[in-house]
Structure 1
């Protein structure tokens, strides 16, 4: 007899090995140290969204280190995304931009609230005695915008592919997370105000340590991963004494920032914001009572969009990538990456021609412009002028800092460093963005259906599987692996082994080395630290 169930299985059976119905609960329940939470099954993956890991951060808790959440009675429903930190993120990243439509920046779920310390979990199994590696992802958007609730960070496909647990984290941003008050005569309890957003991330990792076994995770194999601003967050955690021991591998993708905020610059920004609000630091309680909406408007009015953790305070004594001296977490295996045309997101002059490209280069390097153009054309003869421009800006703003970071870590010794370059161009928007910033994020999460990685195309699926699998093995053992017998050896300052993700996967010695050596010439080296 042809039933509705047999019809559905007939349609889906080729793609789904497991039956659509099972005896497992549709709404699984897990028990955290603060109370029980209810999630929902999505196929074989249990997902819990909006689990609190910290108390609300408004009122008297504003600018203060995070507190643990109050325990709750009964079962808390964690069925959908809840809150994100107040921000001007959508205003700063206009949906009319084709790039921001491409990465789905305007599609994030949730409402703005200072009760924003929550995280999301995807797991293949609860309490089943299988200790799985854990990925903890920190979202991009610098330190002033973004959310873990963005579709680009959906963790179920990665959890399914590698039998791993995936966690994504919301935390405080901009002035709510990084308003430096310590040098303005405020009470000692506000000494960490310039880094409380980073302390939120430490609190999330502590929650993982204390609770992840319930979700099938192994607290002794935690990998932190972040792209762009998320990569800068990973670098921040590498430098924080309080984060020591809470993670065991780290992945930084296109996170070119070498320096964070100085006390002097951060204090000047705080004084500007206080002046705009008509307040004095001596009246800190009034600042805690300002509606967050007014705070965000004042930030935007001043054009303050480059908040960062403040270095030189107890919570963050130093920059991680700014000294030859050993640092906390040097014993943590590290993976570092960039994409070939990271910087394509910043420009819209898609109709740039060869003459215009030469003018762009001449505006910055009048004496070397023709040599630079010839060098890039020799490496990429068929690329559009727009993408050659993007490659040059990517080399200066992403790869040069990345190489500085990697070389510094190698010189300091400790755990190995692995490096990859994503060279495959996104086919979206007729390929005009190339291998643009963010393209490797859905690949890391094995989200091959995303348009930026081909919308389910065969090549896109293969590349997503390759990168996600390499990251899974890195999380599992500290050593990434590639298919086909390719050996991905650690990065060194001599051979410079780099995995190259393109239509043909490869591991190369110093890819694009001629361009690297050009920018390292004494006449071309400026201080790329930001």
Structure 2
């Protein structure tokens, strides 16, 4: 059922590595620490960053070898390094993907780079590593939306972001590729990239003023789902210490790499793309896939209507659903901050007319046994009401209820789980009618309201306060404390359901305002 529902065009269009091989050519930078604070020695060589006020910014540092040629559809390998000082003033190109908002992108398979916003002093700070969203098919760190400059300052952290392989190049699974792998698995290359980036952080971040023993991984949408995946990946266990999952669902909807039912098998799922590429000869699939131009993979996924790209549970890198593993305490217990936005699904409804009849038809199609109860829960008497009812139901179904079910499942362990709820509306411009939509919390967490092109806006005083509060809360959490403000934010527990709520009137603690709807969905078997 989940796979079918995820294909709805209006609804959902999201947001154990072995030891890497030794470098073939080890750089030998000067053993002395460079005097220039913008010149940093990494294990691959020297990098030269740029000064931005009280920050030092380093962009486009390779954390792995380019996954091209024979390294396509392989585990990431350690970058061989460089002899000359590397200019770190430009982002690496995005990983291959479709057009961005209708505009072709200058992407490249040689895309595995990371970026660092470090402070211009000698203090050691917690590290926050950002994983971007985009349905595992889109996104890159050069987007203005993901500028971590203000977060580094406001949260008092060293901030890191990175690209990872997307789409077919990042997640295609095939038996012929599995036959080449030491663990006989395939897919999840993008997740292996994420782990390689975290390994690089462990090896090098101290040189940038970051504490490798205080690393928080955080992401939104597919980035939040990535944090879920890393929680279920033993190879990542010692690479980060806390996690923040923003609009990442309930950490349970990953298919199996191999399954008795083809409908839920990752390998069977990708056969459609392999056939579209003309690589259906099982004897030579791997060679055929590596011979194809990069654009063929982008087009093959883009030409399939609502083709779902995501990690798979392969039993080696990803050993299960994070929800189940965390609830049963079968993987390392880590402090978590999880949450969702009030109106997530309006993101996919912009410009779409939804009538009461259309809403009813959707519910009757996908939930015939529960449709009448759902229409009572989410009443729709006119088109405006239907638009919002449609958005609220899918927000609850995909994001709000799953996330707070996950908060409840992970509560009560040795490490705390905190929950938040974002319910602030942009006060002006074309985004103002969307409510607290999917990804909108990033405008405030990253203070990037002026970097959104035609959608840029000037925040209200309440919006400015929310930016400060979110940065303070995320920073406190990364520092090993409870998120604050509000002060004395307690861990989430089933008995109290305390949630830090970022809303226009105030940042405050509230009981889970959506608990009754989520309980009703749970009684119908539509949520955990």
TM class by smaller structure: 0.7 to 0.9
Q: 1:231 aligns with which of 224, 238, 245?
A: 224
Does 2:242 match 1:249? yes
Provide the C-alpha distance between the structure 2 equivalents of 1:432 and 1:300, rounded to a whole number of angstroms: 29
Provide the C-alpha distance between the structure 1 equivalents of 2:363 and 2:271, rounded to a whole number of angstroms: 38
Q: Which secondary structure does the structure 2 equivalent of 1:225 belong to?
A: strand
Number of aligned residue pairs: 476
Q: 2:142 aligns with which of 149, 157, 169?
A: 149
1:46-79, CA deviations, whole angstroms, 9 ceiling, x for partnerless residues?
1111100000101110111100111101211111
Does 2:71 match 1:61? yes
Residues 343/304 of structure 1: CA separation in 2 closer, same or farther (3 Å cut):
closer
Residue 389 (structure 1) shift: 2.9
1:398-417 correspondence runs (5 A): 398-410=399-411, 413-417=413-417
Q: Is the helix fraction higher in 1 or 2?
A: 1
Residues 352/311 of structure 1: CA separation in 2 closer, same or farther (3 Å cut):
closer
Unaligned runs of 5+ in 1: 1-24, 96-105, 378-382
Q: Which residue in 2 is equivalent to 1:120?
A: 115
RMSD: 2.8
**Conservation of the 8 A alpha-carbon contact between 1:310 and 1:316:** yes
Provide the C-alpha distance between the structure 1 equivalents of 2:451 and 2:178, rounded to a whole number of angstroms: 49
Q: Which residue in 2 is equivalent to 1:9?
A: none
Q: Which residue in 2 is equivalent to 1:21?
A: none
Residues 450/79 of structure 1: CA separation in 2 closer, same or farther (3 Å cut):
closer
Residues 220/237 of structure 1: CA separation in 2 closer, same or farther (3 Å cut):
same
Q: Which residue in 1 is equivalent to 2:372?
A: 367
Provide the C-alpha distance between the structure 1 equivalents of 2:275 and 2:356, rounded to a whole number of angstroms: 48
Does 2:106 match 1:111? yes
Provide the C-alpha distance between the structure 2 equivalents of 1:514 and 1:474, rounded to a whole number of angstroms: 28
Provide the C-alpha distance between the structure 2 equivalents of 1:162 and 1:448, rounded to a whole number of angstroms: 17
Provide the C-alpha distance between the structure 1 equivalents of 2:312 and 2:354, rounded to a whole number of angstroms: 39
1:297-312 correspondence runs (5 A): 297-303=299-305, 305-312=307-314
Residue 82 (structure 1) shift: 2.0
**Conservation of the 8 A alpha-carbon contact between 2:177 and 2:185:** no
Residues 262/423 of structure 1: CA separation in 2 closer, same or farther (3 Å cut):
same
Residues 370/158 of structure 1: CA separation in 2 closer, same or farther (3 Å cut):
closer
Provide the C-alpha distance between the structure 2 equivalents of 1:27 and 1:398, rounded to a whole number of angstroms: 43
Q: Which residue in 1 is equivalent to 2:7?
A: none
Q: 2:83 aligns with which of 70, 73, 95?
A: 73
Does 2:440 match 1:439? yes
Residue 400 (structure 1) shift: 1.6
Residues 519/313 of structure 1: CA separation in 2 closer, same or farther (3 Å cut):
closer
1:321-360 correspondence runs (5 A): 321-323=323-325, 324-330=327-333, 332-348=334-350
Residue 431 (structure 1) shift: 2.1
Does 2:484 match 1:481? yes
Q: Which residue in 2 is equivalent to 1:458?
A: 461
Does 2:138 match 1:133? no
Provide the C-alpha distance between the structure 1 equivalents of 2:354 and 2:272, rounded to a whole number of angstroms: 39
**Conservation of the 8 A alpha-carbon contact between 2:94 and 2:111:** yes
Unaligned runs of 5+ in 2: 1-34, 259-264
Residue 212 (structure 1) shift: 0.6
**Conservation of the 8 A alpha-carbon contact between 1:125 and 1:215:** no
Provide the C-alpha distance between the structure 1 equivalents of 2:151 and 2:458, rounded to a whole number of angstroms: 16
Provide the C-alpha distance between the structure 2 equivalents of 1:136 and 1:184, rounded to a whole number of angstroms: 30
1:97-125, CA deviations, whole angstroms, 9 ceiling, x for partnerless residues?
xxxxxxxxx69xx7311111101111113
Provide the C-alpha distance between the structure 2 equivalents of 1:240 and 1:79, rounded to a whole number of angstroms: 33
Q: What TM-score do the two structures reach when normalised by structure 2?
A: 0.83
Does 2:393 match 1:392? yes
Provide the C-alpha distance between the structure 1 equivalents of 2:66 and 2:335, rounded to a whole number of angstroms: 34
Q: Which secondary structure does the structure 2 equivalent of 1:321 belong to?
A: helix
Provide the C-alpha distance between the structure 2 equivalents of 1:278 and 1:425, rounded to a whole number of angstroms: 47
Q: Which secondary structure does the structure 2 equivalent of 1:268 belong to?
A: helix
1:431-476, CA deviations, whole angstroms, 9 ceiling, x for partnerless residues?
2100000111132223354567952332211101101110000001
1:20-35 correspondence runs (5 A): 28-35=38-45
Q: Which residue in 2 is equivalent to 1:293?
A: 295
Q: Which residue in 2 is equivalent to 1:472?
A: 475
**Conservation of the 8 A alpha-carbon contact between 2:144 and 2:451:** no
Q: Which residue in 1 is equivalent to 2:276?
A: 276
1:483-529, CA deviations, whole angstroms, 9 ceiling, x for partnerless residues?
4xx431111111111111112221012223332332232xx22367x
Does 2:255 match 1:261? yes
Provide the C-alpha distance between the structure 2 equivalents of 1:356 and 1:180, rounded to a whole number of angstroms: 36
Q: Which residue in 2 is equivalent to 1:87?
A: 97
1:360-405, CA deviations, whole angstroms, 9 ceiling, x for partnerless residues?
767765422553146x99xxxxx96533432222111111211221
Provide the C-alpha distance between the structure 1 equivalents of 2:163 and 2:86, rounded to a whole number of angstroms: 18
Residue 148 (structure 1) shift: 1.7
Residue 353 (structure 1) shift: 7.1
Provide the C-alpha distance between the structure 1 equivalents of 2:174 and 2:355, rounded to a whole number of angstroms: 49
Provide the C-alpha distance between the structure 2 equivalents of 1:301 and 1:516, rounded to a whole number of angstroms: 36
Residues 426/191 of structure 1: CA separation in 2 closer, same or farther (3 Å cut):
farther
